[in-house]
Structure 1
């Protein structure tokens, strides 16, 4: 199971790299979102799934699931959602001013 999740994380990182190298601003923003999800999966796979019990102290249970990777990923999901929303609003405002979403055309844009 962990191998499958690592392969999926690698595919997500590959797709994100392709999107980040695009000339379209929306694709670059989506690439950053996909990259964060690939990293989330990688952190989950590194946190391992060997423990079967919840992290509650009990005399009968000997192996526990580590809750730290899950807490870090949950925090990262909230932050990446906020950053993606901010970038999308910024891209919308930029499109309203320049009438283009091509990064090469924006390079020479001068605000009047």
Structure 2
């Protein structure tokens, strides 16, 4: 994996809100990372329910810090359960700040494409 990607440990407490995320974001930014690769398993279920606002808050925090967020892993269950979440994933993947990727190889390929 590239040096400018901070890889989050897949173990650990699920991240429920932005306060849970600040240590990761701070460590990544301090280390010069341009992207954080965050395993799906680290996200609390509230992230996948857009009505909670958690996903938007987390995404906005990354935009504010100018660090990209790559959610790594299978989100198909959440996409199938929510049209709103499916649409947000599709729109995010078209952008430059938040991506949903199956694995680190897909992230590497997207970053290589520019």
- Per the normalisation by structure 2, the TM-score is 0.28
- Choose 1 or 2 for highest CA Rg: 1
Q: Higher helix proportion, which one?
A: 1
